[in-house]
Amino acid sequence: MAIIAATPGPNMVFPYAMPADVRALRTTAIAATLRSCQLFSGLPAVDLDAIAAFATLRNLPKDSYLFHEGDLSEGFYVVQKGAINVHRVSAAGKEQIIYVFRAGESFAEASMAVERGYRRMRARLNLPL
C-alpha cells in the first residue's frame, strides 16, 4: 500500500540527494495522485507540483499501522494504492470501523488543526496491494 503524506515544514530535508530527473518524475507521479483526490482536483498544476515537492511517499505492509490514537499529527494522507481502515477501539477492546479509505481519498486533515494530533482514531492498512 502506498500513501502520500503531506507534511509541510520549513526545515524539511530529504534523507538522500535525488538526481534532478528522478525528483521531477517523483513530483509528477505524486501530483497525478493528488489530482485524483477530490481535495486537490481544482488546483492548478503549478500548485499541485508545489505540494508534491514536499509530500512524502510511505509504503506500508498489510496490517501495519500508520498512526495510533493520541499520536502527534504528522500531516494528512492521500491513499495512492490499497486501502486504509480508520477505526477506534471501544473501552471493551472492540474495533469500531469509522471508514475505509481507498485510492484517491484523503484522510486525517482535521488532525492538522488541533494540538492533540490523531484523536480517537487509528489507521491500519486494510487491503493488500
pTM of the model: 0.73
Give dist(CA 115, CA 106) in Å, integer: 20
> Nearest 5°: CA angle at 38, between 29 and 111?
95
Strand order in the sheet with 76-81: 56-59, 2-6, 76-81, 106-107
Predicted local distance difference test score (pLDDT) of residue 13 = 47
Per residue of the chain (129 residues), what is the pLDDT tens digit?
Answer: 455 555 544 444 445 566 677 778 888 888 988 999 998 988 999 999 899 888 888 888 888 888 888 888 888 889 988 899 988 888 898 988 989 999 999 988 877 776 666 656 677 767 654
Measured in whole angstroms, the distance separating CA 13 from the mean position of its chain's CA atoms is 18
What pLDDT is attached to residue 71?
83
pLDDT value of residue 56: 85
Domain range list for the chain: 2-127
2-127 to CATH, choices 2.60.120.10, 2.60.450.10, 3.90.1150.10, 3.40.50.970: 2.60.120.10
